[in-house]
Amino acid sequence: MENIVIPQKVKNIITKFLENKAEIYIVGGACRDLLLGREVNDWDFTTNLPPEEMKKLFPKNSFYNNNFGTLSILGKDGEIFEVTTFRTERGYSDGRHPDEVKWGKSLKEDLERRDFTINAIAIEVLNPPALRASSLKKGGFSSEDTRLVDLFEGQKDLKRKLIRTVGNPDERFREDALRLIRAVRIAGQIGFDIEENTLKSIQKNAKLINNIAGERIRDEIFKILLSDKPSQGVHLLRNSGLLGELMPELISGVNMTQKGHHIDDVWTHNLKTLDNCESKNPVTRLAALLHDVGKPKSMRGEEGSRTFHNHEVYGSRISVNIGKRLKLSNKELDQLFRLVRWHMFTVQETQTDKAVRRFIRNVTLDYIDEMIAMRRADRLGSGAKETSWRWELFKKRIVEVQKQPFAVKDLKIKGDDVMEILKIKPGRRVGEVLEAIFKEVEEKPELNDREILIKKIKEFK
């Protein structure tokens, strides 16, 4: 095995176990990513020590994460490392969690319960002194220091770029239906295919995904959307039958041709827009995927003369329904709604400042940058250039109009001024006067001068 890079923070944990004569192995996605030369974001370990014995090794910086023998160790920078006792599992009556968990006696028992072959590889460090050796100029361990434990040909599947279950795929997916979408997510993230029998099993068992909590599905969907080429994961969702269970509204756009500047059907355009979205906000990515989801509902006419009037209105409602199924927060639902509902804004040089301010109020200042990122993606997804002089002018005007009065609160007068001048008490009348004055200032921002506005108030006597 070629040298693999294991950071010092991980070596420190392994050393602690080995110095106490315990077995410990790096497992799961960390091994997969190490062997692929990818950055490791989550370090997981398995050991023969029961939780109470692990806790003794890290008395001050660890806590129990669940009831399944997992100890979470806090690193110096706040990173969490999870170490789980060897275990075996029996019965999955809810299609998600084991009915019975027992401590295992060997690494083999532990690896047999894992989902995919590429996640069932373990790395064992054999030489404790090497963990602390400062002479490792290459930043890794040699083949003499580590040993790969690969009982299910995971390395072969890594080379073949395949996602394959450990053992019978039907059994694995019926044990835990979240594995259905995890297979798609991992394949999308690392650019792998799903092995034929595994894919057939996902297609056969796709309806089981409805037994999984929306929050868990959302987390997997977000990871797919944030991958380097998210369309690959979405294609796999469709081919596996999972998209039909989770977002059937999207599939209606397949083969639905469009006229005008669009060169692709609605489905393909949505995917191209997603791939071109530079935002790292998962809700914005979801909005990019769903921005034209309302076109099938709004379609009128035949091929070549089709129109999709108000598709953004239909789409915003559909998107919110999808967001609710994914258990998005109220704030996330608001963002999703606004990005889809108002993505059809115009960027003509003849637009008034009032129209630009109305656009900003609709989108809100919180999501302006996200809307700009999505509009850029929409242009590229339509086959247009990334930008145009009108688009660049519009972006400048968004900045400029924010320097002008944007709402009643930006006026140089307040409610107290209205009450004092008109000799009235707090109430609806105060707001009506301020709103009327603001409408004038919105048309002519130069009127936002305190002396001028005081005179305006007196006109209401």
> Given this model, what pLDDT does residue 309 score?
80
Phi, psi of 205 (to 5 degrees): -105, 15
Alpha helices by DSSP H, 402-449: 415-422, 428-443
Residue 4: pLDDT band (50, 70, 90) is: confident
pLDDT band for 310, please (50, 70, 90 cuts): confident
- The whole-angstrom separation of Cα 309 and Cα 116 is 46
How far is it, in rounded angstroms, from Cα 133 to Cα 144? Answer: 14
Q: Is there a domain that residue 71 lies in? A: yes
Short-list 156, 150, 69, CA closest to 111: 150
Residues 39 and 80 occupy one common structural domain? yes
State how many domains the chain has. Answer: 4
Cα 82–chain centre separation: 22
When the pLDDT of each residue in the chain is averaged and rounded to a whole number, the result is 86
Q: What is the CATH number of the domain that holds 181?
A: 1.10.110.30
Say if residues 461 and 423 touch (Cβ distance below 8 Å): no
User: Do 126 and 256 share a domain, yes or no?
Assistant: no
pLDDT of residue 134: 41
State the DSSP code for 382: T
Together in a domain, 264 and 383: yes
Output the pLDDT for position 236: 97
Is residue 115 pLDDT above 60, yes or no?
yes
* Gap between the Cα atoms of 23 and 14, Å rounded: 9
> Are 108 and 179 part of one and the same domain?
no
Mean pLDDT of 394-409: 74
pLDDT band of residue 65 (cuts 50, 70, 90) is: low
Of 382, 380, 375, whose CA–CA distance to 262 is shortest? 382
pLDDT at 241 over 80: yes
What is the rounded distance in angstroms from the CA atom of residue 327 to the CA atom of residue 28? Answer: 27
Higher-confidence residue: 288 or 71? 288
Same domain, residue pair 15 and 125: yes
Q: Which of 246, 273, 305 is the last residue of a domain?
A: 246
Tell me, yes or no, whether 160 lies in a domain.
no
15 or 132, greater pLDDT: 15
Residue 142: inside a domain: yes
pLDDT of 320 above 70: yes
Decide if 158 is inside a domain.
Answer: no
pLDDT of residue 133 exceeding 50: no
Domain final residue pick, 224, 246, 268:
246
Average pLDDT, integer, range 316-320: 96
DSSP state of 447: G
- Does any domain span residue 373? yes
Interior angle at CA 43, CA 39 and CA 48, nearest 5: 150
The answer, yes or no, to whether residue 71 has pLDDT greater than 90, is: no
Judged against a pLDDT cut of 60, whether residue 131 lies above it is answered with no
Q: Residue 426 belongs to what domain range?
A: 408-458
Question: Among the listed ranges 88-102, 202-216, 221-235, 362-376, which one has the minimum average pLDDT value?
Answer: 88-102
Q: Helix, strand, or coil here: 460? A: coil
Q: Are residues 96 and 218 in the same domain?
A: no
Residue that finishes a domain, picked among 401, 420, 440: 401
- Based on the domain organization, do 102 and 176 belong to the same domain? no
Percent of the chain predicted with pLDDT > 70: 87
Are 352 and 397 within 8 A, CB to CB? no
Give the residue with greater pLDDT, 301 vs 458: 458
Q: Give the phi and the psi of residue 65 in degrees, each rounded to 5.
A: -95, -30
Residue 380 sits in a domain whose CATH number is 1.10.3210
Q: Quick one: 110 and 135 in the same domain?
A: yes
Would 447 be classed as within a structural domain?
A: yes
Rounded to 5 degrees, what are φ and ψ at 347?
A: -130, 45
Tens of pLDDT, residues 51-64: 889 899 998 888 87
The pLDDT of residue 138 is 47
Question: Which of these, 210, 266, 214, 203, lies nearest to 236 by C-alpha position?
Answer: 203
- 392 in a structural domain: yes
pLDDT at residue 151 greater than cutoff 60: yes
% pLDDT > 90, the chain = 46
Task: Please check the confidence at residue 290 and state whether its pLDDT lies above 90.
Answer: yes
Is residue 137 scored above 50 in pLDDT? no
Specify whether 388 is located in the same domain as 289: yes
| CB burial readout 268-293, b (16+ within 10 A) else e | bbbbbbbbbbebebbbbbbbbbbbbb
**Residue 264 is assigned to a structural domain of this protein:** yes
CATH classification at residue 98: 3.30.460.10
d(CA 48, CA 25): 10
- CB-based burial label for 59 (10 Å; 0-12, 13-18, 19+): exposed
Q: Which of 119-123, 221-225, 280-284, 360-364 has the lowest mean pLDDT?
A: 360-364
Residues 72 and 46 in one domain: yes
For residues 324 and 211, state if they share a domain. Answer: no
pLDDT at 130 over 60: no
Q: Tokens 């796999």, residue?
A: 236
Do 289 and 341 lie in one domain? The reply is yes
